[in-house]
Structure 1
Amino acid sequence: MSNPIDTKPSVVLFSGLATQKALEAEIFAAFTTETGIAIDAHFDPTTELQRRFAAGERPDIVIVATPALASLAADGVIDPSTVVPLVTTGIGIGVADGADKPDISTVPALTSALRNARSVAYSQAGQSGIYFRTLIERLGIAAEVDARATPLAKGFTGVAVRDGRADLAVQQLSELAFVPGIAIVGPFPDEVQHLTEFAAALSNAAAAKPEALALLEFLNGDVARAAYERSGLRAV
């Protein structure tokens, strides 16, 4: 007799990188323990997720930067009535554990730290990297920083600091905290800080799927909110 088919319910989730630490470290396990529902998770920067959606991929739930949801709704990817704001996060700088931490407490100090760095790592596809490009233009140091920068197509910039390609990593604070061996110097000064909100929504394909609705509700519940805060995010 053949083995019975595994019918354990599951949910496919596409998420930006900012929430990865909280989700993988705490939230997924707590949700599966409580409900018995498994999660098939895929993490990419919001811009990369948008490319995957444009190519026809359809998860059950998405977690992306909130500004991206309007176009996803217009394209029929998500059900806009299910949008739930989850967290906000700011951008900061990380260095390798044990390395000197530059002063970035003021805009002039941050400018000096970026100009004096051997190399600055940033993500070309992430919300933080897109903003960082505009910031160094505003500060008038783009050519200087770019001449020695370590741009990453996607992923965690802390990895480039840990392996020695760069000495400063720029990214969302929660993404810096995700990489072992990285020490967070601090957030950008308030005058040049850029907060990004991330929200979850059901895809149109999963609007009537009870497992997906259960996960959406869990992502905005007390257990998840506490996990977000512990990972460096601010629950909305």
Structure 2
Amino acid sequence: MPDTIRLLSTLALKGAVADLAGQYAAAGGVRIDADFAPTLALLDRIRRGEGADILILTQEGLAELAREASVAAASCVDLARSCVGIAVKEGALHPDIASEAGLRATLLAARSVAYSRIGVSGIFFARLIESLGIAAEINARATIIPSGFTAERLVTDEADLAVQQISELKQVAGIEVVGPIPRVLQTPAVFSAGRMTASGKAEQADRLLRYLASDEVAPVLRESGLEP
């Protein structure tokens, strides 16, 4: 459709993009047709030939595609930072995750911890519990999902704790975000956007990229759990 931009985005930006798409269209911009999946899944889809006008991925993932000339390097802009956090079911006590020792004890005490197999947060968490020396204990009773929102497993009582980007945790009703995993244990992920070189709507796509990176959208990013 001539008045529609096809956008593929990592799940971490789903809440923000959903809010911004309506605002952008109402202000006279094009309609945004968005689809969301983990960065690794989107990279695979793009390399298999799927097309889009704009991609929102991790900074590293987008840089890979720029090196492969699938994304126009000059169009790339950083949008937001995101921390991995922990959530519990609504009404549950908030455990201690403020320190490495507190986090370690909290994870070991949980009946089950939900995390994603291929998402950025899931890969980080797998490495984290390995470095803490508790991978075997946690994985013996973990709820590991292939993709999607880990906090949904809190609502269904399959897990006591859910680990994911805070912006992804906040997409699920009926849960409460306890907070981020201590910063000393993680490096916030940076999410970036860029135009695919094969897009036939370069002007419209670049205009949307400028909007997404503008100060105007910063409050929406913060509300969704991201740091502009």
Q: One fold, TM greater than 0.5?
A: yes
Cα pair 1:131 1:194 within 8 Å, conserved: no
- 1:194 Cα deviation from its structure 2 partner: 2.7
Of residues 123, 126, 131 in structure 1, which corresponds to 2:124? 131
Q: Which residue of 2 aligns with 1:231?
A: 224
Instruction: Please give the residue correspondences for 1:155-234 in structure 2 after superposition, counting only pairs within 5 Å.
Output: 155-206=148-199, 209-234=202-227
- Point out 4+ residue stretches in structure 1 off by more than 6 angstroms: none
Cα pair 1:65 1:197 within 8 Å, conserved: yes
Q: Which residue of 2 aligns with 1:51?
A: 44
Unaligned regions of 5+ residues in structure 1, if any? 1-6
CA RMSD of aligned residues (A): 1.3
- 1:208 Cα deviation from its structure 2 partner: 5.3
In the superposition, relative to structure 1, how do residues 8 and 75 fare at CA in structure 2: closer, same or farther (>3 Å)? Answer: closer
Could you tell me which amino acid in structure 1 is paired with residue 131 of structure 2?
R
Cα pair 1:58 1:77 within 8 Å, conserved: no
Q: Which residue of 2 aligns with 1:9?
A: 3
Of residues 53, 61, 73 in structure 2, which corresponds to 1:80? 73
Cα pair 1:79 1:207 within 8 Å, conserved: no
Could you tell me which amino acid in structure 2 is paired with residue 133 of structure 1?
A
Secondary structure of residue in 2 paired with 1:151 = strand
Normalising by the residue count of structure 2, what TM-score does the alignment of the two structures yield?
A: 0.96
Percent of paired sites with the same residue: 40
Cα pair 1:45 1:154 within 8 Å, conserved: yes
Could you tell me which amino acid in structure 2 is paired with residue 124 of structure 1?
R
Cα pair 2:3 2:31 within 8 Å, conserved: yes
- 1:35 Cα deviation from its structure 2 partner: 2.0
Could you report, residue by residue, the CA deviation over 1:46-104 in whole angstroms, capped at 9, with x for unpaired residues?
A: 00101101110121000000011222112222011111000001011000101111111
| Distance in 2, Cα, partners of 1:207 & 1:92 | 38
- 1:193 Cα deviation from its structure 2 partner: 2.3
Secondary structure of residue in 2 paired with 1:39 = strand
Question: Which is higher, the Rg of structure 1 or of structure 2?
Answer: 1
In the superposition, relative to structure 1, how do residues 207 and 219 fare at CA in structure 2: closer, same or farther (>3 Å)? Answer: farther
Instruction: Please give the residue correspondences for 1:27-176 in structure 2 after superposition, counting only pairs within 5 Å.
Output: 27-176=20-169
| Distance in 2, Cα, partners of 1:201 & 1:48 | 17
| Distance in 2, Cα, partners of 1:185 & 1:111 | 15
Q: Number of aligned pairs?
A: 228
| Distance in 1, Cα, partners of 2:106 & 2:204 | 47
